[in-house]
Amino acid sequence: MELWILIGAIVFLIAFGIFRFMKARKILTTLTEDEFRQGYRKAQLIDVREPKEYDGGHILGARNIPLSQMRNRLVEIRKDKPVYLYCQSGARSTRAALMLNKKGYQNLNQLQGGFKKWNGKIKTKN
């Protein structure tokens, strides 16, 4: 009996993960660095990493709205402009996009590979 519960839980988690992955692919455009660079100046560029990560280096012109604070700071993000998101590797920006989409945001984009793959200009906090 306990084995069936465990198997059921594992199947549910796998199915839920696949659902979230498919949903993210539908609502979120993953851009190469060149594509990202071409569009982010006309968009809202948001770094969803935590403040210490942001202070350690971020893309020039990015605002820091950590994923952990995003729900409370949605008023800072306009729905009528494209949103360009990035985090360290892409996992948090995907979660941020799912949250934003649920709140009615569209035109959501993320940097492929995240900040660790960025070769453009960065700014660090002095």
Residue 100 has pLDDT above 90, yes or no: yes
The conformation of residue 58, written as its DSSP 8-state character, comes to E
Q: Which domains does the chain have, with CATH numbers?
A: 2-123 (3.40.250.10)
CB atoms near residue 121 (< 10 Å): 9
- How far does Cα 40 stand from its chain's mean position? 14
- The 10s digit of each residue's pLDDT in 26-45 is 789 899 999 999 998 899 99
Cα–Cα distance, 11 to 4 (Å, whole number): 10
Cα–Cα distance, 115 to 25 (Å, whole number): 19
- The 10s digit of each residue's pLDDT in 13-25 is 888 777 777 776 7
Q: Where in the sequence numbering do the catalytic residues fall? A: 87
Cβ proximity of 93 and 66 under 8 Å: no
Provide mean pLDDT across the span 94-108.
93
